Amino acid sequence: MSEVLLEFEGLAKSFGGVRALDGLDMRVKRGEILGLIGPNGSGKTTSFNVVTGIYTPTSGRVRFDGRDITGLGARKVYEAGIARTFQRSRLCLDLSIFDNVMIGNHARVNNGLWFNLMNRRGLRREVEDGYARARELVAGFSADLADRMFAPVGALPMIERRRIEICRALVSAPKLLLLDEPSAGMTHDETAQLMDDILAVRDRMGDLSIVIIEHEMGVIERLTDHCVVLSYGRKISEGSYAAIAADPEVQTAYLGVD
């Protein structure tokens, strides 16, 4: 088994005359946390959208777990073992914690009319199994949240919503988790708590790979094993946080240092 889980080979994506990704090469190893950073418009979220089947690349290849997944639709990518969160919350605020977490596992739930009408015992078992799985995930973040599985998420503070979003991504037992600015909208203290949560997730799921997009460099410094820096869709630096932070090209492109 290769140590590389995800690989971009010359990945490009254009929108009209705008080249959002421009020949990007990148690798994510099994079990590592990789930080993907760069200024606004550098192609970070576009790379997530290409991997997860929202966009089809203009050129280049995406390989995941030894398989070419270039151009696969979102459902096929999900079934292959990739899950993600979004910078802006996608939770259904009127629904409960349990409902929101289970939305992340919808493709594996039996939605057949015959099963739901006639196999009531099987349906009940499926719901009970789903509840146990969802509660276990939520309890890994907060015992208090796990005791309120049927509370609406709209009443929760931002950090709790972020935790539920991560649980929704994890419920499908992915091999790769993509986190798009998880600290957005949170205070410094909440961000520190969420970093603890993410590190705990990695400890519990040692073979899980994580790619995180973040503008908070303290988050990147603390969480990541490896970093890739983008500018105008191209990779301009790669290495440890200390190495990329000392790179003059990164300082110019990302930090505004002349």
Domain identity same for 47 and 4: yes
Is residue 132 in a domain?
yes
Task: Return the higher-pLDDT residue of 1 and 180.
Answer: 180
Is residue 239 in a domain?
yes
Assess whether pLDDT exceeds 90 at residue 104: no
**How far lies 75's CA from each of 8, 48, 50, 108, 172, in Å?**
20, 15, 13, 11, 12
Domain identity same for 100 and 157: yes
Domain identity same for 75 and 202: yes
The pLDDT score that the predictor gives to residue 34 is: 97
Assess whether pLDDT exceeds 50 at residue 257: yes
Is residue 191 in a domain?
yes
Phi/psi for 21 (5° steps) reads -125, 135
Which segment of 7-11, 48-52, 119-123, 161-165 scores lowest on mean pLDDT? 119-123
**End position of a domain, from candidates 173, 191, 211:** 173
**End position of a domain, from candidates 141, 173, 205:** 173
Domain identity same for 65 and 6: yes
The SS3 assignment for 258 reads coil
Domain identity same for 77 and 179: yes
For residue 217, what are its two tokens?
Answer: 């460099």
Distance, CA of 138 to CA of 161 (rounded, Å): 11
Assess whether pLDDT exceeds 70 at residue 111: no
Assess whether pLDDT exceeds 50 at residue 169: yes
Residue the block writes with tokens 């276990």: 136
Is residue 219 in a domain?
yes
Assess whether pLDDT exceeds 70 at residue 109: no
Contact residues for 252 (Cβ-Cβ < 8 A; gap 6+): 258
Is residue 145 in a domain?
yes
The confidence band for 256, taking pLDDT boundaries of 50, 70 and 90, is: low
The pLDDT score that the predictor gives to residue 119 is: 56
Q: Give the chain's domain count.
A: 2
Domain identity same for 8 and 135: no
**End position of a domain, from candidates 173, 199, 219:** 173
Assess whether pLDDT exceeds 80 at residue 56: yes
Q: Which domain holds residue 67?
A: 1-81+174-258
Mean pLDDT of 145-172: 94
Domain identity same for 75 and 182: yes
Distance, CA of 23 to CA of 6 (rounded, Å): 16
Assess whether pLDDT exceeds 90 at residue 211: yes
Is residue 117 in a domain?
yes
Count CB-CB contacts under 10 A for residue 29.
15
Is residue 88 in a domain?
no
Domain identity same for 29 and 142: no
Q: How many CA atoms lie within 13 A of 56 on its CB side?
A: 3
**Residue 28 in contact with residue 5, Cβ under 8 Å?**
yes
Assess whether pLDDT exceeds 70 at residue 78: yes
Domain identity same for 4 and 68: yes
**Residue 224 in contact with residue 241, Cβ under 8 Å?**
yes
Is residue 12 in a domain?
yes
The pLDDT score that the predictor gives to residue 127 is: 73
The pLDDT score that the predictor gives to residue 117 is: 53
CATH number at residue 221: 3.40.50.300
Domain identity same for 74 and 108: no
Mean pLDDT of 41-46: 94
The pLDDT score that the predictor gives to residue 115 is: 47
Domain identity same for 35 and 147: no
Domain identity same for 150 and 110: yes
Task: Return the higher-pLDDT residue of 2 and 48.
Answer: 48
The pLDDT score that the predictor gives to residue 54 is: 94
